[in-house]
Amino acid sequence: MTDAPPERAPPDRPPSDALWDGLRRLTAARIGLARTGASLTTGPLLDLRLAHSRARDAVHEPLDEARLAAGLAGLSDPVLAVASAAGSRSEYLMRPDLGRRLAADAEATSASHAGRYDVVFVIADGLSARAVQAHARPVLDRVIEALRAKGWRIAPLVVVRHGRVAIGDAIANALGADCVAILIGERPGLSAADSMGAYLTYKPHAGTTDADRNCISNIRPEGLPYADAAFKIAAMLSAMRAGRVSGVRLKDDTVRLLDGGV
Amino acid sequence: MDALFALLVAAGVNFVMGVPGADDIMLGYQSTSFHDALAMRDLFGRRPAPEFEAWLARAGLIDKAGRIRPGAVPVQLRALLPA
């Protein structure tokens, strides 16, 4: 550090630099960030803090069950609303085990609609309620239409507050469904606080583990668009039923839809 | 994240992740950024690995003192980018 200090240059590259604008159109990554010395300038630093705060807010945001259930009406009625064993958002975040278990009255709610179904769709807040509020309906529209056309018997939809993935297992058993597909809000990243995941399981039971599930991730218009996600979910469920298996022994051989339509 | 990073560097860690702006958009993770690595090098007087430092110098990205070069994008890098 005996060299003369570097001349105080103005912050490099204003963010509007044409070179970086072209590259930014190709990626959502935070590229070409202006720096001063070795560190970020104030603008990009505040952008990052804002993104981090948005992610935290998304995790804590409560699910609006009434609005979600109303938005899902008409697909496979009735829409049942249940809760996990977690009593509050903070308890849900601190106790993952409670998010996998149904509340005391939830089993009865499901059992009163028990029947013989090929699949039940469960919609849970997970770590981003806004993800399912925004994306569950457009995906389910397409999946349910595709499966009904093949004669599938679809159980009533189930909305879960404070739910984690495995809670779908108990719901499938209570309703009498062979497959469970749970749509759930994913842990928010810094660039996407509204990403939805779909976990598919064939004949879940008490010993079911994550190795028995298939996951389709990053469902949102800027990630895996609705039509592609719906195509994959319907194709995987069909393969699951045909092969009587789910999880690591079932591979996703669906070709990506070329239209990328939303 | 900064505090943990500083602790690790002080303890002698010699590899950290670098993703643009600390935002791993593929995995949805917050990680450590290229800027973070530069700042830690400045703070602790650490240099890049010798072969990496030689490459950085050849590419015109650092000055003789090993600091990230101030100013515009180096000519060598600009030549690789679309016009």
pLDDT at A5: 47
Band of residue A125 on the pLDDT scale cut at 50, 70, 90:
very high
Query: Are A144 and A75 contacting, i.e. CB atoms less than 8 angstroms apart?
Result: yes
Q: Using one digit for the tens of pLDDT, what is the confidence trace for B32-72?
A: 999 999 889 989 999 899 999 999 888 888 888 778 876 66
Domains of chain A, by residue range, sit at 63-243
Per-residue pLDDT band at A119 (split at 50, 70, 90)? very high
What distance in Å separates residue B8's CA from the closest CA in chain A? 19
Q: How many CB pairs under 8 A join A and B?
A: 83
- Residues of chain A with a CB closer than 8 angstroms to some CB in chain B: 1, 3, 6-7, 9, 12-13, 19, 22-23, 27-31, 33, 35, 37-40, 44, 48, 51-52, 186-192, 195, 218
Q: Does the domain made of A63-243 have the CATH classification 3.40.50.1470?
A: no
Residues 41-80 of B with CB under 8 A from A: 41-42, 45, 63-65, 67-68, 70-73, 78
Minimal-distance CA residue of chain A relative to B64: A3
Contact assessment for residue A220 and residue B52, using Cβ atoms and an 8 Å cutoff: no
**pLDDT mean over A233-242:** 95
Structure tokens at B75: 């000519």
| Residues B28, A188: C-beta atoms closer than 8 Å | yes
CA end-to-end distance (rounded Å), chain B = 37
pTM, to two decimals:
0.81
Q: Is residue A123 predicted with pLDDT exceeding 90? A: yes
ipTM above 0.85, yes or no: no
Of A55, A100, A118, residue with least CA distance to A208: A100
Interchain pair A186, B28: CB under 8 A? yes
pLDDT of residue B70: 63
**% of chain B surpassing 70 pLDDT:** 92
Share of chain B above pLDDT 90, in %: 41
Phi-psi region of B21 (alpha: psi -120 to 50; beta: other; left: phi over 0): left
pLDDT digits (tens, 9 = 90+) for A5-43: 444 444 444 445 677 788 888 888 999 888 888 888 999
